[in-house]
Chains A and B, each alone.
Chain A
Amino acid sequence: MSVAEVGRRRATEWAARSLQWLRTTALPPLLLVIVILGAWQASGLFLDPLLISTPTSVLTELASMSTQGQIWLALLTSLEEMFIGLSIGLVCGIVLGLLMGRYWIVETILSPYVNFFNATPLVVTIPLLVIWVGISTQARLLFVVLITIWPVLLNTLAGVKNVSQGYIDVGRAFGLSEAQMLREISIPAAVPYILAGVRVSVGLAIIGMIISEIEVSMVGLGFLLTSFGNSFQTGKLFAVILVTSVLGVLSAAIVRLVEKRWFRWIGELSASQR
């Protein structure tokens, strides 16, 4: 077969495959989205746009807000607070989870409080936080910390306690010290669990940030939501909602990427050690 023929054959194969991908993977959701957007846009004709706005106006509002810079400022403020709160929450959660998993006495003493806070719909604590530190950044930060600690704590705890007996045997059989056991065996083995907890906590951090901004604030995306909502600027409201959702999807994707890049062995861990 000549080079030209090989090239042509490969091109047609590629075309066929892309067509098939379009048909099976991309088309159905695209179709559904188009139908929904179409219906949404059409609804604007006979429904009060106050109720639901239309895709076109949402996009135009988004565009104007972007150029004005209003939305970027809000996004940045929100992200900054969320990031600090999330970091503190993750660090505290993981450290406490490790301590509780490793030292039975720590677990025994702390578990009533952990159970209490994990069960509580933490939104109820916001008025209390406001009483303590006022309507301020600290209140919002505290709330984000509070909301992100428990999932990652509980998962870390479970991870440390569920280290496969085989790995523990290896550590003991080859004479690892306490510190070495923790560092080289318990923590790496707990990583899948910890990451699952981080995933949940990251999602909660975004929600926590929004909630705390709605309840306690004059800044950020949450504030924009409240003010647009109260003034029935539905187009702008949906634009901000769009941005928030994209933020959520992006952060979940980032966690997944981190997992793929640095923790590829996790799949093997769960598979072989069940």
Chain B
Amino acid sequence: MLEILEVSKTFEARDRRVMALQDVSLSVRDGEFLSLLGPSGCGKTTLLRIIDGLTEATSGRIVFDGIELQGVSRDMAFVFQDINLLPWRSVVENVEVGLEGRGVPRPARRRRALEALELVGLESVANAPPYTLSGGMQQRVGVARALAVDPKVLLMDEPFGHLDNFTRENLQVEVARLWERLKMTVVFVTHDVDEALFLSDRIALFRTNPGRMSQLIAVNLKRPRWEYNVRADPEYIRMREVIMDELEVRKLQMV
């Protein structure tokens, strides 16, 4: 189980202090798909980075399976919004990065990387340079890279943010399928309400100024959600209204 305990983060810039996160506390159950949903600037990416250990919290702790987190976590893997594939490496070499970091010897590395590529259906382009792939394919490589290290928790930071609508919807289904198959814990950051409702077991809603969690909503829609028109489900529509109200009202309040 992943516990986020009263995490705060303040950024200091020359003469200003920005409180990106204020006392966020949250428990993530094993095997659940949890989304962090909110407008830009509410600190959700910062929180995800703190969970992984890429960014240090100003105060508060991250505890995973009873052990407090120090530095970058070895049990979690990160999927980046900017994808960040290394252009000087082929696709499969990119997927191997995490395995190199863990000192896995060469033959085993290659094997596990190819297995991860098979999971996302890209084993055929294993030796291609990344720039020959479309944005959607590149991000699938990014997901494969994260899966290759067999993480206990998968952290995804608005992974489809830079992709067009059609690609995004396809990849949402792929992520949902992967999760059903692998049954790992996923923490997913997004600003897209429909995306969150489609994918998650629970949604944590965030506000800005300062960034904090305002509500935790359980999503009780039947799974698998790609096998029917979930968006027409009355429960879906109701929850969507609830969430939009929560976020919209805040926006009006800011004015």
Contact = CB atoms under 8 A, between A and B. Distances in A.
Q: Do chains A and B touch in the complex (CB under 8 A)?
A: yes
Contacts of A175: 72, 74, 98, 101-102
B205 interface: no
A66 B145 CA distance: 60
A205 to B, nearest CB: 27
Interface in A247-274: 264-265, 268-269, 272
A103 B46 CA distance: 27
B145 A174 contact: yes
B152 to A, nearest CB: 14
A169 interface: yes
A30 B137 CA distance: 48
Contacts of A272: 87, 131
A185 interface: yes
Contacts of B129: 264-265, 268
B149 interface: yes
A268 B97 contact: no
Q: Is the interface of A mostly helix, strand, loop or mixed?
A: helix
B82 interface: yes
Given A174-B149, A268-B131, A272-B131, A169 B88 contact: no
B52 interface: yes
Contacts of B102: 175
B160 interface: no
Interface stretch (A135-143, A176-184, A223-231): A176-184
Contact of B54 (A169, A177, A268): A169
B218 interface: no
Interface in B74-95: 74, 77-78, 80, 82, 84, 86-88
B100 interface: yes
A191 interface: yes
Contact of A180 (B54, B87, B100): B100
Q: Which of B87, B97, B100 has most A Cβ within 10 Å?
A: B87
Q: Which of B52, B77, B82, B102 has most A Cβ within 10 Å?
A: B82
A192 B149 CA distance: 30
A166 interface: yes
Contacts of A264: 129
Contact of B87 (A169, A172, A269): A269
A174 B87 contact: no
Contacts of B86: 167, 170, 184-185, 188
Given A166-B84, A268-B87, A173 B72 contact: yes
A273 B207 CA distance: 30
Given A188-B88, A265-B88, A265-B131, A173 B100 contact: no
Contacts of A265: 87-88, 129, 131
A31 B178 CA distance: 66
A56 B239 CA distance: 88
Interface in A148-176: 164, 166-167, 169-176
A188 B87 CA distance: 9
B240 to A, nearest CB: 33
A177 B101 contact: yes
A176 B104 CA distance: 12
Contacts of B78: 169, 173-174
A109 to B, nearest CB: 27
B71 to A, nearest CB: 9
Given A174-B98, A176-B97, A176-B101, 9 more contacts: A169-B54, A173-B52, A175-B72, A189-B88, A265-B88, A265-B131, A268-B131, A272-B87, A272-B131
Interface of B: 52, 54, 72, 74, 77-78, 80, 82, 84, 86-88, 97-98, 100-102, 129-131, 145, 149
> Top 4 closest A-B pairs, CB basis?
A175-B101, A268-B131, A174-B98, A166-B84
Interface of A: 164, 166-167, 169-177, 180, 184-185, 188-189, 191, 264-265, 268-269, 272
23 contacts: A166-B82, A167-B84, A167-B86, A169-B54, A169-B78, A170-B80, A171-B101, A173-B77, A174-B77, A174-B97, A174-B98, A174-B101, A175-B72, A175-B74, A176-B101, A180-B100, A180-B101, A184-B86, A184-B97, A184-B100, A191-B88, A265-B129, A269-B88
